[in-house]
Amino acid sequence: MYTFGKIMVLARKNVMVDPHRVRELAKHLGTSESEAIRAAVDGALHWHEVEAAARKLRRRGGIEDVFGRVSADAASRNATSGTA
């Protein structure tokens, strides 16, 4: 799904999916099965954007706790585990 100006353009794709899972997702979202599949694709793309932003942030040294709200124990665990 992509937009051209302000008009959303859809293309028919032939995909093999588990119909029970698609139906379950649609029920949870309160949408049609087609809309549920579009939402799942959008969600996956957004997740990749978040992962890329997190990697970029880690490369820049992580987040600095300028207000001192993270305890020293939590900061040392993050430093040894490689997370920020």
- pLDDT tens digits, one per residue of 33-42: 999 999 999 9
Name, in order, each residue with C-beta under 8 angstroms of 77's C-beta and a sequence gap of 6 or more: none
Predicted confidence band of residue 63 (pLDDT cuts 50, 70, 90): confident
Mean pLDDT, rounded, for 9-13 = 89
Residues listed for the chain: 84
**Domain ranges for the chain:** 2-61
Burial of 36 (0-12, 13-18, 19+ CB in 10 A): buried
> Tell me, what's the pLDDT at 36?
97
Is the pTM here over 0.75, yes or no? Answer: no
* Rg of the chain on CA atoms, in Å: 20
Q: What is the pLDDT of residue 68?
A: 81
Q: How confident is the model at residue 30 (pLDDT cuts 50, 70, 90)?
A: very high
Report residue 7 as tokens.
């008009």
